[in-house]
Structures are given as C-alpha cells and as structure tokens.
Amino acid sequence: MTDSRKDSQAARYIEVSLVKRSVHCTARLLDDRAPRTCAAVWDALPLSGDVYHAKYARNEIYALFPPFADAEPPLENPTVTPIPGDLCYFSFAGTELGTRAYGYDREVGPQATVVDLALFYERNNLLLNGDVGWVPGIVWGQVVDGLDRMAEACNDLWRSGAEGETLSFRRA
C-alpha cells in the first residue's frame, strides 16, 4: 500500500462502554490489518449485550452476539496473546460454548453460532482453553483513549460482578 493510499483512508473510531458504570474508551479500527473483520463490525454497529468477564483468558471482558456478517471473517491479524487495549473477534459454534462449564448453557444452544467481541484491559493474557486448546482471536481494534478508566471499571466488574452491566460498541 502506498503512503498516498494510507492517507486517503480516514481512520475509523468506535466507543466501547460499560453502560451501568458510565465508563467508556475510544478505539481505532485496524482496517489495514483486519479489513474484513473491521467492515463486518462497523456495518453491524451499534451493538450491545450482557457483559461477561473472562474465566480463562484472564483480563478480558466481552459480550456475545448472533452472527452479523454475511460470512464469518477469515482469521486475519490473529493472536493468542492479546495486549492491553486489544479488541478481539471470536466466532464459536454453540457446541463449543453450550456447556455448563462456561455458564451459557441457558443462552447458547448447540445449533447456534455465537460472535464474541472482547476487550483486553491488562497484560498477561493467554488464549488457551483447557477443553479445546489454543483459541486465536482476530485483533480488529486498539484502544487509543480511556483504557486506564476502563481497566478500573473492568477490575470492579471482576470483583463486584457483571450482573446488570452492558458492554456497548458504537461508532465514535
């Protein structure tokens, strides 16, 4: 890609919020690294859902959504070691999440496909699941403002609980 083409493409930003806690951060979409994933998410915005705190990956919050892309994006810009501020996209078959071990058995059926949009807010994350092994995610965004405030709220979510809290993604 030439420099002139990079300059002609304006950066796109989204706001990620914990609604009940009234905290948000701003993230830049990584269109140059994950163009199909960014397009799918951008076209589906706004999105919001019940927030969960990771059980295995460590410093992660996420929400689950029905599929919203015409076709699931390929594994572009993958990682198994997300860093603070990474926004990741995962797609799971219902049989992968529809067990009591994950706590979604009332919400996710075996026939369903589920999209997981996640925010990693601190270091030392490893996407390794004891049941299935490595779970690479697509890094499609990077927080550029407000991560400190969001990390505080995420830690509170971990300690105080997620019930009644919503994770929201919208265009900034």
User: Which pTM does this prediction carry?
Assistant: 0.91
- The predicted pLDDT at position 101 comes to 64
Q: Could you give the CA distance from residue 125 to residue 120 in angstroms, rounded to a whole number?
A: 8
Q: What is the pLDDT of residues 61-119, one digit of tens each?
A: 999 999 999 999 999 999 999 999 999 999 988 777 766 666 666 667 777 889 999 99
Q: What is the pLDDT of residues 115-147, one digit of tens each?
A: 999 999 999 999 998 778 899 999 999 999 999
Please, what are the domains in the chain? 12-171 (2.40.100.20)
What secondary structure letter does DSSP report for 72? P
Kindly state the tokens that stand for 9: 């493409």
Q: What is the pLDDT of residues 48-67, one digit of tens each?
A: 999 999 988 899 999 999 99
119-142: b (≥16 Cβ within 10 Å) or e: bbbeeebebeeeeeeebebbbbbb
